[in-house]
Amino acid sequence: MIRIYNTLTQQKEEFQPIEPGKVRMYVCGMTVYDYCHLGHARVLVSFDVITRYLRHCGYDVHYVRNITDIDDKILRRADENGEVFTDLTDRMIEAMHEDEARLGVLSPTEEPRATAYIDEIIAMIHKLVASGHAYSADNGDVYFAVDSFDEYGKLSKKKLEDLVAGARIDVREAKRSPADFALWKAASEGEVSWSSPWGEGRPGWHIECSAMSTCCLGDTFDIHGGGPDLLFPHHENEIAQSECATGQEFARTWMHAGAIRVNKEKMSKSLGNFFTIREILESYPAEVVRYFLVSSHYRSQVDYSEENLAEAGRSLTKLYLALRGVMPSKAGVVPETEHDRRFMEVMNDDFNTAGAISVLHAVANDINQQRREGREDEAKHSAAVLVRLGSILGLLQQDPEAFLQADTGGELSAEDIEGLIQARADARKNRDFAEADRIRDELADKGIILDDSREGTTWRRA
């Protein structure tokens, strides 16, 4: 039985989907005005692993991850660039897909864009206005009346009176209470807008997700997820407007990935420690970055540093070295092992990927021991287990040689390295051990590690 930490109840609960055998999950996606950063990667990879594991357990997962393609930030950036906002969003969506593909993130079942759901958004706002949960202000905006929902704050555990106390209303706004939030924003002349019963305008941010999630998954669905910064006010506001519009519970289980810190400080553009996914992938292989993110529990904070990335690379290399030269057994289905059972046990405990990584290394240790003792068939079976369990985390699906010898922009090509290895072999054959050692040292200085065995010499990049 899978147990998931539910942010709503602040405890782990046995997961029981609304419809047996099927999981409906919605995760808040990107606002596409810039390239995705490391915090986005954390969310993308975390919920990719969760989806993979649920499917491994036999669930039919309908995974929806939205795209916010209309927003103040988008319009400002497009104006700065001197381009149509749709050109900006199309370009950033394409870049996002490139980044997630490199990180091994599977595509969601559906990826709705806010601009494609304007009619549904307007219909939901209309329902809220008609039921007294929202009101049209004098400036053409439409606001949700937070005090009309008695359970406001149940996700974040914030009290409405604390939110209102001392808060100020922006002079440009016409809402009744500081806690109220915009469902529809009136457009100034020349701004991007759509027609509505309240005049020309565009949707507020929070209402987009309520409309898209309920349209794609129904009034009540199993899991709602996102980054830690979305818990309040975004997810709190989603609950309020959705449950007032439908009269139903919005989502059963709320999941939030942990924050990214850089050298023990919060990642922030203002601090100058803000990294995009593609910047990081210029320096590190994509699978190493994924391993780094997966090796921590999805709810924990992750500290990004050069040292931690390097350690992730070393740890992943150990797993690929265990697989090197071992052809995983394909003769029938490899029977379930104690490692399989332990892997399931830790993953059933709120998707504990840190524990799952430990299981992978235990399997790798078995392979190494079995090979040392000449038990090749057992090593092949263990290799099959390692590849199978790794796939659930989106790891270890490359050919070991491809990973270990991947060109990372070093001085030497594969052909150069092979030539030097042959020159070293010739020197050793001629008993010129000084020259052989010199070649080994030269390769080591350039990040090439040689491994000698009875079968010959193999190499890998450090």
CA angle 26, 145, 121 (to 5 degrees): 40
pLDDT in tens, 220-234: 999 999 999 999 999
Q: Does the pLDDT at position 166 exceed 70?
A: no
- pLDDT interval class at 333 (50, 70, 90): low
Own/partner long-range contacts of 128-134 (Cβ < 8 Å, ≥24 apart): 128/183, 128/241, 128/244, 128/245, 131/244, 131/245, 133/241, 133/244, 133/245, 134/183, 134/241
Q: What is the pLDDT of residue 171?
A: 52
What integer best gives the mean pLDDT of the chain? 93
pLDDT in tens, 10-43: 999 999 999 999 999 999 999 999 999 999 999 9
Q: What is the pLDDT of residue 430?
A: 92
Q: What is the pLDDT of residue 269?
A: 66
Q: Does the pLDDT at position 406 exceed 90?
A: no
DSSP-assigned letter for residue 114: G
- pLDDT interval class at 163 (50, 70, 90): confident
- Binding-site residue numbers are 28, 209, 234, 238, 269
Q: Does the pLDDT at position 70 exceed 70?
A: yes
CATH class belonging to 261-404: mainly alpha
Q: What is the pLDDT of residue 168?
A: 61
In the chain, domain spans: 3-257, 261-404, 414-461
**In the chain, what percentage of residues exceed pLDDT 90?**
79
Architecture of domain 3-257: 3-Layer(aba) Sandwich (3.40)
- Binding-site residue numbers for Zn(2+) are 28, 209, 234, 238
- pLDDT interval class at 422 (50, 70, 90): confident
Burial of 215 (0-12, 13-18, 19+ CB in 10 A): middle
- Binding-site residue numbers for ATP are 269
pLDDT in tens, 247-305: 999 999 999 999 999 877 877 766 778 889 999 999 999 999 999 999 999 999 999 99
| DSSP, residue by residue, 433-453 | HHHHHHHHHHHHHTTEEEEEE
Q: How many whole angstroms separate alpha carbon 11 and alpha carbon 27?
A: 20
pLDDT in tens, 112-124: 999 999 999 999 9
pLDDT in tens, 113-162: 999 999 999 999 999 999 999 999 999 999 999 999 999 999 999 998 88
Q: How many whole angstroms separate alpha carbon 142 and alpha carbon 181?
A: 8
